Amino acid sequence: MPALNKITCIEDFRRLARRRVPRMFYDYMDSGSWTETTYRANENDLQALQFRQRVAVDIASRSLRAQLLGEDAAMPVALAPTGLTGMQHADGEILAARAAERFGVPFTLSTMSICSIEDVAAHTSRPFWFQLYVMRDRDFIGRLIDRARAARCSALMVTLDLQVMGQRNKDIKNGLSTPPRPTLGNLLNLATKPGWCRQMMGTRRRSFGNIIGHAQGVADMRSLASWTRDQFDPTLNWNDLAWIKERWGGKIIVKGIMDAQDARLAVDAGADALIVSNHGGRQLDGAPSSIAALPAIAQAVGERIEVLMDGGIRSGQDVLRALALGAHGVLIGRAFLYALAAAGEAGVRRGLELIANELDVSMAFCGRTRIQDVDRSILVNPDAVTTR
């Protein structure tokens, strides 16, 4: 376990994670599709936005507290749904959910998680959000929605941008599988990760807990591989959201919005919130960064629906930039995964503390004392990366 008081930024966790996690799982976490242009743009475009520093403002009393989908949050940040989280650290989804609960921000469980919905619910007391991939097998999807409701999940997040899979070259080259296949290359790499191996030997959770044993014909990892290849549904459209909304009966978030017209359609479909997201640069390479797409979407629908954003958030300053350009809140994926991979539950908690401190101090330097008062006037160049 690293000395957490010596870790001062998310980048410190990233470097530790790279040393501790097998290559295929680290690359799955920290890569994009094709040339990774959009993956890099998510971070670079955020960094291009400069703050307008103010002085001689009374900033003695400050608050980051916010509401996300009507839930109180310690800051306007939620943990994003990330697949294979339990392969970055044993029981990773449970540990991350507990860290989020104790810090006071929402956690989102992915359909493609290692720990199941029931596992996470049994180890937490605060309702979490559940992210849904819509598969061809609608009977399975209906039962998955029912399981999320039975686990008291407080919102259903429907991902819309994975009707087909983007080409993720590193995953292909690494032969990504869960658990890793016993090839010579994998065995040699695993031999250099003894801590990770010990963790994984100590848990029974090593496969996709929401799917295996629940989807028809999927009883083990071999049958799961063929099932998954055929299940992502290219026919998914806005009409399907009506069925999902009726079956769920609660709050709906739609994820993967990168266009103002799609944002309007999300409002018309009855979504309670949307997430401006390019899937972390893992789907359509060459698409704009999330931060570049955010202002037009916020302007189009921000008064009618809660607009969230993910993609490239690595610090509290990045959170502040997104809020300035119209986001009600942000989701962090890789940032918490680095911390989880490096130091488990304590790492995620420390990562959230770092982000909160950076957000608080940066907000103060911009002359604001309440997170709700942040707007584009805190930026010197708010139009630096916006799309037209």
Average pLDDT, integer, range 368-374: 98
Q: Is residue 11 part of a domain?
A: yes
Q: Is residue 384 part of a domain?
A: no
pTM score, whole prediction: 0.96
CATH number, residue 194:
3.20.20.70
CA 342, 347, 350 angle in degrees (round to 5)?
140
* Mean per-residue pLDDT of the chain: 95
The three-class DSSP label of residue 351 is: helix
Give the position of tokens 């599988």.
Answer: 177
The single-letter DSSP state of residue 289 is P
Structural domain of 159:
4-378
Instruction: Answer yes or no: is pLDDT of 133 > 80.
Output: yes
Average pLDDT, integer, range 50-75: 98
Q: What are phi and psi of 275, to 5 degrees?
A: -120, 120
Q: How many CB atoms lie within 10 A of CB 235?
A: 9
- Give 111-125 pLDDT, tens digit per residue: 999 999 999 999 999
The domain total for the chain is: 1
Q: Is residue 176 part of a domain?
A: yes
Average pLDDT, integer, range 151-158: 98
Q: Is residue 66 part of a domain?
A: yes
- Give the C-alpha separation, 179 to 213, whole Å: 17
Q: Is the peptide bond before 382 cis (omega within 30 degrees of 0)?
A: no
Q: Is the separation of the CB atoms in 161 and 255 below 8 Å?
A: yes
The residue with greater pLDDT, 223 or 311, is 311
Q: What is the dihedral of CA 95, 97, 102, 107, to 10 degrees?
A: 150
- Give 341-358 pLDDT, tens digit per residue: 999 999 999 999 999 999
Instruction: Answer yes or no: is pLDDT of 127 > 90.
Output: yes
Name the residues annotated as catalytic: 279
Instruction: DSSP for 174-197, please give it.
Output: HT--SSPP--HHHHHHHHT-HHHH
Q: Is residue 386 part of a domain?
A: no
Q: Is the separation of the CB atoms in 17 and 29 below 8 Å?
A: yes
Q: Is residue 171 part of a domain?
A: yes
The residues near 128 (Cβ < 8 Å, ≥ 6 apart) are 97, 100, 101, 106, 107, 108, 109, 120, 121, 153, 154
Beta bridge partners of 370: 63
- Give 227-263 pLDDT, tens digit per residue: 777 898 999 999 999 999 999 999 999 999 999 999 9
What is the amino acid identity at position 203?
Answer: T
Q: Is residue 387 part of a domain?
A: no
Q: Is residue 388 part of a domain?
A: no
